[in-house]
Amino acid sequence: MLYKRSSALFKMAEQVIPGGVNSPVRAFGAVGGTPVFAKSAKGAYITDEDGNRLIDYISSWGPMILGHAYQPVVNAVIEKAQLGTSFGMPTELETKIAELAVSMVPNIDKIRFVNSGTEACMSAVRLARGFTKKDKIIKFAGCYHGHSDSFLIQAGSGAVTFGTPNSPGVTQGTAKDTLLARYNDIENVKAIIEANKSDIACIIIEPVAGNMGCIPPKEGFLEALRGLCDTNQILLVFDEVMTGFRLAKGGVQELFNIKADIVCFGKVIGGGLPVGAFAARNEIMDYLAPIGPVYQAGTLSGNPLAMAAGYAMLNALNNDETIFKSLNDKTAYLHEGLEKVLNSSGIDYTINRVGSMISVHFSEVSVVDFETAAKGNNDQFKQFFHGMLNEGIYLPPSAFESWFLNDALSYEDIDSTISAAERVLKTIQ
């Protein structure tokens, strides 16, 4: 496929936007080549600026769970826009979507809307610190919770070592309060807690990881975290920005029957518009301003267009009992097909899947955490990505990102994807 116009647009963008993109993964830095510029999308397909139609497996990084330009969402946004795009005042719709979200998700009483997943996770940690009156947090290597300073931390040399910043602009003072643990390693978490007794406000985790490829929690891992938090008066924060309203109506809490203390949302909850949210039981949420001492605010939080899109999306998911089974079945079908062609290729691989999240790792070892994810053959992934792109299949341009299926994908689309993978794998060295 030709990407002349995308290449020209990227060169223009580089002159006025850092790196030519407004989010780094879009720059194709992990796979090389020139980013594809989207022009339009409908259902399971994206049409780029060169007129190529691509089968989409990122779904705008998750929110397009029912496909692009889903008509009830489009209609809701248009109708709301005609009444005004922003007021800086409360609207009835904010209460309606809050009531709907609370009814769908177990173990939450109140929810506050913000403008991004980063804001949601940042606010959740501040709330946890204010509620517990403790300063330190535990996060997991490879889990991404947005670009707030507290989360841009790399590993120290051991369980008792403070993290260090992995981005300029993040201070050592901020880093010292973030402790880094290994995903799926409960003994490591125990050691960190033991070394920081009475200092840890919360443990924040992607309960199904999606930023080192899709990595499910080991059996019993989340339950053990819940137990450690209960024993040590630590709040358990689930970052369900990716998984919320995608893996089940009630997200991972429902799927695995695990209760978190605070839950963060994004992606699906906005129906494709910029939205985040965080939620908890009453006693925690009532610590927020204006009724509590923990300050959090946002001029455009609860924006009527975003609320309209999110409300239409959640209503669709809440009213159709077949959607999640359909998504799971399609993802399982893709998994089985890819497994078959990969087995025939002789290339080392492992596939991880939970619900409608899936990833292919070109690795001979099981991928259970960031360390094992990093052992994958990135050169093979690059070849696979560009080969699939040339076949008209748009995958995440990084080996460290989950694929997200949408329900507009047909089995014919998936068969085409599997056939394309078979052809591409024959070319990989």
Question: Would you state the structure tokens that stand for residue 325, as one six-digit string?
Answer: 């089974």
Catalytic residue among 144, 183, 349, 394: 144
Among residues 105, 115, 91, which one has the least CA distance to residue 296? 115
**Is 80 within 8 Å of 304 (Cβ atoms)?**
yes
Of the residues 275, 296, 319, which one is the last residue of a structural domain? Answer: 319
Domain with residue 270: its CATH number is: 3.40.640.10
- pLDDT in the model for residue 315: 98
Catalytic residue among 239, 261, 369, 407: 239
Residue where the block lists tokens 């080991």: 218
Of the residues 319, 343, 375, which one is the last residue of a structural domain? Answer: 319
DSSP string, 192-203: HHHHTTTTEEEE
| Beta strands, E only, 184-275 | 200-205, 235-239, 262-265
Q: Are residues 376 and 315 in the same domain?
A: no
Q: Are residues 333 and 270 in the same domain?
A: no
Q: Is 11 a catalytic residue?
A: no
Those residues whose C-beta lies under 8 Å from the C-beta of residue 245, and which sit 6 or more positions away, are 65, 104, 251, 265, 267, 268, 269, 313, 314, 317
Q: Are residues 279 and 350 in the same domain?
A: no
- pLDDT in the model for residue 158: 35
Among residues 207, 141, 315, which one has the least CA distance to residue 323? 315
Supply φ then ψ for residue 408, to 5 degrees. -75, -15
- pLDDT in the model for residue 154: 64
Q: Is 183 a catalytic residue?
A: no
Those residues whose C-beta lies under 8 Å from the C-beta of residue 83, and which sit 6 or more positions away, are 304
Instruction: Label residue 61 left, alpha or beta by phi (over 0 means left) and psi (-120 to 50 means alpha).
Output: left
Whole-angstrom distance, CA of residue 363 vs CA of residue 260: 32
Q: Are residues 98 and 192 in the same domain?
A: yes
The answer to whether the pTM exceeds 0.85 is yes
Domain coverage including residue 25: 4-69+322-425
Q: In what order do the strands lie in the sheet with 357-361?
A: 350-354, 357-361, 403-404
Question: Would you state the structure tokens that stand for residue 331, as one six-digit string?
Answer: 């993802």
Q: Are residues 216 and 198 in the same domain?
A: yes
Catalytic residue among 80, 136, 139, 267: 267
* Angle, CA 238 vertex, CA 232 and CA 244 arms, to 5°: 160
- pLDDT in the model for residue 160: 34
Centre a 10 Å sphere on the Cβ of residue 197 and count the other Cβ atoms it contains. 8
pLDDT (tens place) for every residue of the chain, 429 residues total: 788 999 999 999 999 999 999 998 899 999 999 999 999 999 999 999 999 999 999 999 999 999 999 999 999 999 999 999 999 999 999 999 999 999 999 999 999 999 999 999 999 999 999 999 999 999 999 999 988 878 877 643 333 334 566 778 877 777 789 999 999 999 999 999 999 989 999 999 999 999 999 999 999 999 999 999 999 999 999 999 999 999 999 999 999 999 999 999 999 999 999 999 999 999 999 999 999 999 999 999 999 999 999 999 999 999 998 999 999 999 999 999 999 999 999 999 999 999 999 999 999 999 999 999 999 999 999 999 999 999 999 999 999 999 999 999 999 999 999 999 999 999 997
Question: Would you state the structure tokens that stand for residue 318, as one six-digit string?
Answer: 């809440």
Q: Are residues 162 and 293 in the same domain?
A: yes
- pLDDT in the model for residue 169: 80
- pLDDT in the model for residue 317: 98
Q: Are residues 37 and 134 in the same domain?
A: no
Q: How far is CA 195 from CA 160, 184, 205, in A?
A: 6, 19, 20
Per the omega criterion (within 30 degrees of 0), is the bond before 290 cis?
A: yes
Q: Are residues 348 and 401 in the same domain?
A: yes
Domain with residue 334: its CATH number is: 3.90.1150.10
- pLDDT in the model for residue 159: 33
Q: Are residues 315 and 343 in the same domain?
A: no
Whole-angstrom distance, CA of residue 194 vs CA of residue 316: 45
Q: Are residues 248 and 143 in the same domain?
A: yes
Number of domains present in the structure of the chain: 2
What is the β-pairing status of strands 53-56 and 276-280? unpaired
Q: Are residues 246 and 103 in the same domain?
A: yes
Q: Is 57 a catalytic residue?
A: no
Q: Are residues 361 and 305 in the same domain?
A: no
Of the residues 267, 294, 319, which one is the last residue of a structural domain? Answer: 319
Cross-strand pairs, 54: 46
